[in-house]
Amino acid sequence: MGREHLRVNRFGLAEYEDMVELSRGVDVSEPAGVLHAIVELVLPEESGLLDSLTDEAQADFVVPLGMCAKMLSSGEYSEMESVSAACTVSHCAAAHMSEFPDDLARMVSRLPR
């Protein structure tokens, strides 16, 4: 059975029915904290990590990560928006985990999916 799509939230991230229950059982600070650490590791130009990723990983993973960075910088997001962001980044990173540095792979693996 497919996932039931509910809406696209104000940050451009999809929300699904199964995320409703997940968002109720998650402390919003946990996925947001992990996402913040990933953003701080990957997106700053001086880290060099972004340039080390393949074009495919940049397209699949970095684009949604940038959307999450915008959400985090707003400082105002719901549990559902936090879970949606975490699940999106986790899902988009899945195909590229083997090429990620170990610390990035560990952080991504802590996100709900």
Sign of CA dihedral 61, 41, 103, 33: negative
Q: How many C-beta neighbours within 10 Å does residue 98 have?
A: 6
Residue 50 has which token pair? 């972004």
Cα–Cα dist 84/87, whole Å: 5
Q: Give the global pTM.
A: 0.87
Phi/psi for 23 (5° steps) reads -65, -25
Task: Return per-residue pLDDT of the chain as tens, 113 residues.
Answer: 357 888 888 888 888 888 888 888 777 778 899 999 999 999 998 888 988 999 999 999 999 999 999 999 999 988 889 999 999 999 999 999 999 999 999 999 999 87
Strand partners, 8: 14
